[in-house]
Amino acid sequence: MYNIRQFKPVLYVLLMVGLTGYSLAAQSAGLWVLGATGILLNAWLVGTGRFVPMPRIVANVVTIGATLYCTQQMFTSTGTPVLVIGQFLVLLHLVKLWEQRANRDYAQLLILSLLLMVAAAINTASLLFGVLFAAYLFLSLFCCLLFHLKVETDTARAALALPEEKVPPARLRQDQRYLTRSMRRLTWLVSGVGVAMAVGVFLFFPRGSGANMLGPLQIRPAQALTGFSDEVGFQKIAQIQQNDQEMAYVEVWKNDEPVGGGHTLLLRGTVLDRYTGGEHSRRGRWQWIRSNLQFIPHHVSAGETVDFGVSPPPGADRWRQKISLRPTGTNALFALPGVASFTAPKRSTEIRYNRRESVLQTSTPQQQSQIDYEVVSYNSLESPSFEPRRRGGPTTAPAPQTGPPPFAYSSTWLRARNEPSAIDPKIEQYARLPEVSGTDDDGRPLASLRPKGHTDPHPLDEEIARNIEQHLRTRFSYTLDLTDARKIIEGQDPLVAFLYDVKRGHCEYFAGAMTLMCQSLGMQARLVTGFKCDEFNEVGGYYLVRQSHAHAWVEVRTATGWKTFDPTSGNDVGRTQMTMWRRVKHLLNYLEFTYANNVIAYDNANQESLMASMETGMTNTVYQGAGWLAGVRQWLDSDKFDYITSHVVFFMMGLILLTLAGFVGWFLWEKWMLRRRAARIGLESLPRDEQLRLARQLGFYDDLLQLLARHQISRPRHLTPQEFSRSLTFLPASAFRTVQRLTDVFYRVRYGDAELSPGSRRRLGSILGRLGAELSRVLPARG
């Protein structure tokens, strides 16, 4: 009964852990503050005895109101269903907590807390949440055991009509001594069995590689955040918030040597080369779209490599990238330019390859699961020749597509894609300004020296592009907030407004404006979206790519080939300063990355790898064991072994005989000592077996008599043990009470059928030791 008092504190801690876990998964600090305030205030009121349960009618009204609110949120909120359900569960937590009256309310609180953690587990794969969830499971098991004990105790107390203050103090002391330890042992035993079973199920029954059926319920970030998108448009004007969510982990090798940071990665995702302008396209006005839709599909089996037959430029470096990409909601696969081969190391993947743009895509948008792949690039923007080859799989490849892809696009939309960009004349006028495109040594504008309408690369193209890039970087400013320029931008081409009126914006404005200015002068230019990052995690040895690293830049075809230009001004993408706090974050990120790869992403392919490693290890062990057994057998057949065994057998036989004789002697000596003890205590009249049993149980009383005898105090044979103990009034008070208690124990064992456990006999021996020390201080002892 003592340990049951721990139930409520443990319950409050459990509720706080569950609330914290869900708030962490939902990234909702306000929800945590609301729930924590209600739980802690209730705990304080209960602890101080001031708590008054909420009336049932009030609880019902609050519950109905919470139901209506969450139903309305389900249809109107942009959040996911699980987020709304979690809010409803938190409100139910508070209602049940503030109307608690009986054990039924506690049971409902335990169930609600578990449901809240399940909702959290659907929405996050965070290592921190995993650790919190493991602690929650252990704590919930202990709390459930305490709750079961509380229910049984309440039932027994009601049946016996025994108030708590009438419970015997001895029973409370016994509960305090043994029950806490027993409950903890039971908790650890059940937890250990549960963990062992969970590990076994995890290792040998992995999750499939298909889509997660709970995926539609998961929380997705809001759209008004920085991050990669395969579409570039300017219809919406809003303040964009920085989003530091990790999107990819990239390990890079340059010519088979690991790259340890110091390089800025430009991971290309999508190439867009046509601007719709004010006309209505498939996705609206003011959109950048791709005109080249000639993607070649490939089915890449697990462990297979598709070689795209790229001939590396002379002296080009070979860059191998191992990428773990989280869901982006798009088809894009990211890599350095000049993709030469693609490998799917873990599972089969459907990809598409664009020969002219040298970009990769998945066949369907990545919505649920992480994708791991390896890419070899030569960091070249030149269009490769296409002779696809395969390694580790079939040697044939589908022929390149020459027509449009087999998608249900309208002919009007396809025709619009083949047309050039819709460029406002003001953009060409701006591009031809001498301070924008530059002048030669004689002061003549470079744009006027370039033949008008000439679409092939011209020797002046690279210099003009550099001048436009420098103009935008130095004369314009970078910002994510254009809300105050809404009235200026709306009603005209956003890029015209950017160049003439606003003169500030984010990277898509800079890259879009430069691309249009180059195209307006007849140059071949395209806008590229992807990630720009140099944040290197030294702990894990990989580049960390965040959503905030999403970037847009420009590629222009010059007389010497395609070149990359970044006109964005003041953009700190990729400029990551290393501080102590960031190093700590990198360590935590490495743990999270390892957890996600080895635990969250554990599937059939990982199981097969594990089983293969175990099989190899067991095979090597069998071979080594077989060789060791052969050596042992050869040694057993030798004469040396016969000589050793003859002496060992003789020695063992002698040792066994001596041990047997020792056991027989010890048995006879113990029986003789017990019979002497029985005679001293006065058990001669009992049967032989009963004498021996009681002599073992009452050995403490014989030791007491011998202790008193050493201090010249002997029990006369005509006195009973009780009479003898009462005659020792001359002893100190504490010693007299000790002898009285030992005598009472003697009578309970001798005549009350009580049984002393080995532990009780040891405690009685300790009491005799303290009694002997006390008597030695006040009474002389005989030698």
Statement: residue 227 has pLDDT above 80? no
Give the pLDDT band of residue 481 (cuts 50, 70, 90): confident
Q: What is the pLDDT of residue 428?
A: 93
Q: What is the pLDDT of residue 398?
A: 43
Q: How far apart are the first and last CA of the chain?
A: 50
Q: What is the pLDDT of residue 379?
A: 80
- A 10 A CB-CB count for 478 gives 17
Q: What is the pLDDT of residue 320?
A: 93
Mean pLDDT confidence for 665-670: 84
Two tokens at 528?
A: 């590229």
Statement: residue 429 has pLDDT above 70? yes
Statement: residue 474 has pLDDT above 50? yes
Give the pLDDT band of residue 646 (cuts 50, 70, 90): low
Q: What is the pLDDT of residue 376?
A: 93
Statement: residue 430 has pLDDT above 50? yes
% of the chain at pLDDT higher than 90: 17
Q: What is the pLDDT of residue 681?
A: 78
Q: What is the pLDDT of residue 526?
A: 94
**In terms of DSSP bridges, do strands 257-258 and 246-254 run parallel, antiparallel, or are they unpaired?**
antiparallel
Statement: residue 273 has pLDDT above 70? yes
Two tokens at 632?
A: 């042992």
Statement: residue 577 has pLDDT above 80? no
Statement: residue 105 has pLDDT above 90? no
Which residue from 147, 140, 67 is spatially nearest to 100, judged by alpha carbons?
A: 147
3-state SS string over 309-332? CCCCCCCCCCEEEEEEECCCCCCE
Between 583 and 651, the more confident residue is 651
Q: How far apart are CA 205 and CA 420, in angstroms?
A: 54
Statement: residue 389 has pLDDT above 50? no
Between 778 and 378, the more confident residue is 378
Which residue from 94, 38, 101, 102 is spatially nearest to 62, judged by alpha carbons?
A: 94
Radius of gyration of the chain (CA): 42
Statement: residue 98 has pLDDT above 60? yes
Q: Is 254 left (phi over 0), alpha (psi -120 to 50) or beta?
A: beta
Q: What is the pLDDT of residue 221?
A: 42
Statement: residue 467 has pLDDT above 60? yes
Which among 160-169, 191-200, 404-413 has the top mean pLDDT? 191-200
Between 780 and 254, the more confident residue is 254
Statement: residue 392 has pLDDT above 60? no
Q: Is the pTM of this model over 0.85?
A: no
Statement: residue 223 has pLDDT above 50? no
Mean pLDDT confidence for 389-404: 43
Q: What is the pLDDT of residue 475?
A: 92
Q: What is the pLDDT of residue 88?
A: 87
Which residue from 434, 528, 436, 433 is spatially nearest to 476, judged by alpha carbons?
A: 436
Buried b (16+ CB within 10 A) or exposed e, 671-696: eeebbebbebbebeeeeeeebbbbbe
Statement: residue 411 has pLDDT above 70? no
Q: Are 674 and 691 in contact (CB under 8 A)?
A: yes
Mean pLDDT confidence for 684-693: 79
Between 300 and 226, the more confident residue is 300
Q: What is the pLDDT of residue 329?
A: 83
% of the chain at pLDDT higher than 70: 74
Q: What is the pLDDT of residue 181?
A: 66
In the chain, DSSP finds a helix count (H) and a strand count (E) of 24, 22
Burial class (CB in 10 A: 0-12, 13-18, 19+), 64: exposed
Mean pLDDT confidence for 269-295: 81
Statement: residue 422 has pLDDT above 50? yes
Q: How far apart are CA 524 and CA 559, in angstroms?
A: 11
- pLDDT tens-digit series, residues 485-542: 877 887 788 999 999 999 998 899 999 999 999 999 999 999 999 999 888 888 788 8
Which residue from 298, 322, 318, 293 is spatially nearest to 308, judged by alpha carbons?
A: 298
Give the pLDDT band of residue 564 (cuts 50, 70, 90): very high
Q: What is the pLDDT of residue 169?
A: 54
- pLDDT tens-digit series, residues 311-328: 787 888 899 999 999 888
Statement: residue 744 has pLDDT above 80? yes
